[in-house]
């Protein structure tokens, strides 16, 4: 199945923004793509894209959205996790929406299959 990881990333984080108190593994979109969420590095389309592009575990330099974990926003996802865990739904929603709207840089389309090692980068858009 060919997926637009950038679009799915936005869908996931928009949903989290609309559903504070929920977590990434609660997202109903995992069933739509018929690919177990545990196969995605950190339940994150950006992390999985970086892993597929780098062909190794230490892959953050290949992240299509470096501002989620690093960069000018500084650990934005950690801020979302903390707000969500603390029950501050307003902040959790704010951070999730901010993550959803960060620009995706690099390849967007990836081919995924039935197993962890079957996912691969699509060289054409």
- As a dihedral over the C-alpha atoms of residue 50, residue 53, residue 59, residue 61, rounded to 10 degrees, the angle is -80
pTM of the model as a whole: 0.83
Task: Give the pLDDT mean for 37-54.
Answer: 80
Query: Residues near 6 by Cβ (< 8 Å), separated by ≥ 6?
Result: 45, 64, 104, 108
pLDDT per residue as tens digits for the range 101-115: 989 988 888 877 655
Percent of the chain with pLDDT over 90: 38
pLDDT per residue as tens digits for the range 10-23: 999 999 999 999 99
Q: Which of the two residues, 60 and 17, has the higher pLDDT score? A: 17
Q: Supply 15's token pair.
A: 């949903």
Task: Give the pLDDT mean for 89-112.
Answer: 91
Mean pLDDT estimate for the chain: 82
Q: How confident is the model at residue 56 (pLDDT cuts 50, 70, 90)?
A: low
């Amino acid at each position: 199945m060919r997926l637009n990881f950038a679009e799915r990333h936005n869908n996931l984080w928009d949903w989290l923004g609309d559903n504070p108190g929920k977590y990434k593994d609660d997202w109903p979109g995992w069933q739509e793509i018929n690919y177990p969420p545990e196969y995605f590095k950190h339940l994150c389309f950006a992390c999985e894209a970086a892993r597929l592009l780098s062909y190794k575990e230490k892959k953050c330099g290949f992240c299509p959205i470096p501002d989620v974990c690093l960069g000018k926003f500084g650990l934005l996802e950690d801020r979302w996790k903390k707000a969500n865990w603390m029950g501050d739904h307003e902040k959790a929603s704010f951070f999730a929406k901010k993550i959803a709207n960060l620009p995706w840089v690099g390849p967007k389309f990836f081919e995924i299959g039935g197993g962890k090692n079957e996912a691969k980068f699509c060289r054409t858009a």
